[in-house]
Structure 1
Amino acid sequence: MSAQNAQQWFETSLGKYLLAHEQSYFDQAVANIFGYNAIQIGLPQFNFLRSNRMPLQFSAGTDCGASLRAAADFMPIESGSMDLVIMPHVLEFNENPHQILREVHRILIPEGHVVISGFNPLSLWGANRYFKPARSDFPWCGNFIALSRLKDWLKLLDFEMTGGRLCCYTPPFKREKWRAYFNFMEAAGDRWWPISGGVYFLQATKHMHGMHIIKPGWKNALAGKKRIASAAQRFNDNSIEKKLHINGYNQINSDKQ
């Protein structure tokens, strides 16, 4: 995906329509996620972390404007250091989305959060890709990933789905007046065709499975027992020698009797 191509598309009427929905959802989704470190992977020209209150926020990617210039599938970030990761349209424009999800799982702390947005192939937006004369343009050049498949990938990494929704039910017309004619689809989309939104959002939490070893109370059981000295004791005290002499004398007298 070319950053310039994506930037130009978001400046169109259809791009602004999508951007308004994306910004609204991310603002709501990340506002009440707390922690210390948050990262946005992809689309650094848009601040989708603006409503979050974590002290450290930065963007990462290969596009100009990213705070950290790095590939999404191999992040130079310490494992278990991020509280929140958001990925606006990253997976469908990368050749190895599985590796990106593994990297997200690696850098997240236990119970850390990830918020993902993606284009839905089972929608009018997905069908529109096959009727475009220029399929090399953004966003039709992407490999749209079905929501059900993305959920399966996340479950394999022990993520738990905690939220999500779909939007952009109207056909992806370039002209605003044509989208206005079909605006009723946007209002009724969640009720009548809930899986046919052009864009989906998905929230998930990283879980770590482990065990706590319960040890028996060996220390308490051995506390009252005498232990063998770890080193030989030196008897230099005269009082000890006297006691040994007296005990021996008493033993001899008892034998005579």
Structure 2
Amino acid sequence: MLNSTLHQSLQQWLGTAIGQYLLEQERAFYDSIVSDIFGYNAVQISFPEFDFLRSNRMPFRFVAGLEKGSSAYAHPHLLPIGSRSIDLVLLPHTLEFFPNPHQILREVHRILIPEGKIVISGFNPFSSWGLHQHITTSKNQFPWCGNFIALPRMKDWLELLGLETNTGKLGCYIPPCGSEKWISRLRFMEAAGDRWWPIGGGVYFLQAVKHERGMRILKPCWENPPKTRSAPATTQVDRQINSDAVGKGVGNNVKLK
């Protein structure tokens, strides 16, 4: 749970140039990926300040969390949501700022329908952002107080739960500098980093799909059933011939006189 001090730190950090830069990058990614995911129910867990489901077209979308502004007041460790009832779950940095991220992933796996999708964003510890976390003196401030999870470890956690990663991306290659002037000067690093240093992005994004063994989707058969060949019609003469042949103990090869 984000306590009041950390929540206030989050609001202050989002007012900075680097905070706005991060929010811009994350909104662009979420808008592009959730717009093509269809279903009926979608939930974002924690951080109700950010409406990352805004471009999704599912009829029922809500935010579950303990923060003020959440649609459903719920702890991410124990979600009051029915099993196999959600088509899409978003975890925007949720696993880094709540204890026991494994239990959160287990709850997400439980509420997802088969073939449901989960989208995760997290800070990359092997980047300039991860380096800044180690050298900064503001370790109690957002986001440096979070438990950054490495991308390979996150993929292992998903695989253990039967969640197959099918899409991934890194972004925020600009170092976490506090000046808008330097952020503008370093904008070229987004395109250059994505091409020349793809593992050095400050934030990673993952999309995974829940698979269950033994499932088979049955589709209706819209094709017309094959036509059966009807037996040839017999005439009165044919029936009389067959009857005479049977009476004489011969086969069907009978000649008319």
Structure whose CA Rg is larger: 1
1:153 aligned partner:
157
Residue 35 of structure 2 is aligned to residue 31 of structure 1 = yes
Moved more, 3-12 or 128-137: 3-12
Whether the 8 Å CA contact 2:48–2:63 is kept in 1: the answer is yes
2:232 aligned partner:
none
Give the Å deviation of 1:200.
Answer: 0.5
Q: Deviations over 1:141-195 (max 9, x none)?
A: 0010001100000000011111120001111001111223332322211111101
Letter in 2 for 1:113: K
2:18 aligned partner:
14
* Structure 2 portions without partners, runs of 5+: 217-257
Letter in 2 for 1:5: S
1:114 aligned partner:
118
From 142, 147, 151, the equivalent of 1:143 is: 147
Q: SS state of the match for residue 62, structure 2? A: strand
Give the Å deviation of 1:6.
Answer: 1.3
Q: SS state of the match for residue 54, structure 2? A: coil
1:210 aligned partner:
214
Letter in 2 for 1:152: D
1:235 aligned partner:
none
TM-score for the superposition, normalised by structure 1: 0.80
Q: Structure 1 vs Structure 2: percent identity of aligned residues?
A: 59
Letter in 2 for 1:51: S
Query: How far apart are the structure 2 equivalents of 1:10 and 1:162?
Result: 30
Give the Å deviation of 1:13.
Answer: 1.1
2:191 aligned partner:
187
Q: Deviations over 1:190-209 (max 9, x none)?
A: 11110110000000000011
TM-score for the superposition, normalised by structure 2: 0.80
Letter in 2 for 1:192: W
Give the Å deviation of 1:133.
Answer: 1.0
Query: How far apart are the structure 2 equivalents of 1:108 and 1:211?
Result: 15
Give the Å deviation of 1:3.
Answer: 2.2
* Structure 1 portions without partners, runs of 5+: 213-257
Letter in 1 for 2:34: V
Letter in 2 for 1:201: F
Query: How far apart are the structure 2 equivalents of 1:73 and 1:148?
Result: 23
2:241 aligned partner:
none
- Across the aligned residues of Structure 1 and Structure 2, the Cα RMSD in angstroms comes to 1.2
Residue 138 of structure 2 is aligned to residue 124 of structure 1 = no
Letter in 2 for 1:98: H
Query: How far apart are the structure 2 equivalents of 1:168 and 1:81?
Result: 33
Give the Å deviation of 1:5.
Answer: 1.9
Query: How far apart are the structure 2 equivalents of 1:60 and 1:3?
Result: 16
